[in-house]
Structure 1
Amino acid sequence: MLTEQRAHHLAKASEAFQAFLGQITANELLDWVSHELGHPEALDEFQQVGDILTKATPPKHLLHIISGNTPHAGLQSLLRGLLVGAQNTIKLPATKADCESIPEITAFYRALPKELQQLCLFTSELSDSLLASADCVIAIGSDRAIESIHQRLKPQQRFIPHGHKISFGLIDKPSTKNAQLAATDASLYNQQGCLSPHAIYVKQGAEDFAPMLAKAMETFNQRDPRGPIGLSESGSIRNLRETVRYQAAQEPDNYQLYESKGDTSWTVIYENSPTLRPSPQNRTIYVRPWPDNPLDLGKEVEYLSTIALSPLSALLKTVECLTPARVCQLGKAQHPHLFWHHDGIAPLASLVTCLDIHL
């Protein structure tokens, strides 16, 4: 099947998944191939570049090791593999070796024509033989999981890891609109993905923004409840709440705690410190003052994924020195374009190899 045919089938199958993939057309997919590989038919036939004929070749076996708490990332990864025409194996974090454990991938797979379904194999086992058979491996998960996988690969196998990352938001001043946008970013997918902000920084009036964000978090939760979480997850949130409650009693100017009543559905913590730290997730968000020197954010900036800004244009230069992989408008942190460079990596070009013929 030629690239143009795959693009049309994938665009049609993606129509029901705009929340995960955005609204895309076949022409946009072909433009994406052209942008990264130099020509829309780069995978189909040789293209002349100067005195060289070159053709892009997909992996013979592309292995996707995906995380159950970020189905959108797995769905995007699979679409990319299919677009370049690879044979794909999707390793699911589940006990049964089919695609039923992640409904989004199930529905997407079933929307594909048989020719593309034949390029997909699902498994729950990550055996040595499976790893050895892949010439390219994409892994999404914790740093510990990523390291474990990497140690099992051979040098000639291409490895594309997506491990621990952290994101945050930055606003110029408190406002109801900013609170609503921040609550959306902090609540979607229960902060399980690398695009989820763990803190909202405020250039002026951070302590005034915390109660506004708390109100917006409650409103969002009433409209879209978080749902149940595990005992250890709930315990982490409750432990953090009690720590902050004690700190707020001792230093009320430096700490504030706002929390959902009777459960752990959402938590907002104001801390008068710029140090970026991961939250326990599950809609637990810090509010922090923005420092004069962005380097005062601390060591976590080494793992920056996304910075969500409001207003975007006015604050862009403020964060450029941090070199994040992605900057976006506040409220859009959880909705990257399908063509984005995940962790700064070109998603199509990183998958293919090229055959050159020197004329």
Structure 2
Amino acid sequence: MKQIKINIDKISDFDLKLAKNPRVIAAIDEILSLSLDERTVRLHNLRQQIADGKASLFEERVLTRLLEQRTAEWIKLLQKNLSIIEQELQKRHPPQPPALSFDAEMPEVSESPSKVQETSHAELLDFLATQKPPTPRIPSNIRKKSLPKQQESFLRRHAKDVILASLAGILLIGAFLYALFSQPEAPTIETFDQEARHESPEVKAIHEEIQNRYDAAAYQLRFGSFENGKRMLLELVKEYPTGEHAENAYVLLGDVYRQRQRDPDQALKYYQLALEKFPSNPQTGMTQLKMGFAYEDLHDLPQAKEFYRLLVSRYSDTSRVGQAARARLASLENTRQ
């Protein structure tokens, strides 16, 4: 697969927020199913709605950005590698603990316990190391000369126990901090597609070749010779039938047959192949939604309703697939047969 190297410093806080939002990711999945020309038309229409005051705040601030060239792919890439990006950002900008101050023997009453707990382990250990163990208090009315030898021996043993307990506590804290901070560091980010995994040069070369062939076939399919693009995709799937690109190839062929070739029968064929060969893929719901669209194109409304009902039962109201399925089902049920 083709390597994609990203400069972490170029990732904005707004882009990270978009990558963490389920509603945004659902919208991205729908946008990725569109061609660049279709995105341009939709962006133009959306900006016209904004100018007319008919767009929602989400459409104005988020959807317009996602429809810009390659922005949806960028946010999807961040979402897939969110955990790695956050680890890298934390390593570059670790949180700074507040300085520990001991202006008095006891903290002021106004200080909350949570503020004291924010003290760093290292400073706490330094403070404990400088403190003397508490000395047993002897009542003022007792004079050393008048103490029996038995009581004096008891007090000495008690002081010794307090010292040993304090030292044991310091050693226990030290052992805990050593175990906490001696964990091995996470591997540095090499590429997002490999998710920091080390691969041999031979494997990387194969991945890059597959990605280049897929990109060339997709370009031919959309902007060049449809038949050449189709042939190139199917040859690639035949050679590498289990990779991610194979499912993408089936879905892409279905999209082009449905949207450009106006052939929903062929579109259904390739959508069904994607579902049969990759039943547990995250794109399953979106593929089934597109099958519903294809059945609508064929005017087979009962079959389209069955697909939408299936998706409504599987996906919540907050997911993009669930929302789209509910909207289409409601529209068809209100249509007179």
TM-score interval, normalised by the smaller of the two chains: under 0.3
Greater helix content: 2
Greater strand content: 1
- Report the TM-score, using the length of structure 1 for normalisation: 0.24
Larger Rg: 2
- Report the TM-score, using the length of structure 2 for normalisation: 0.25
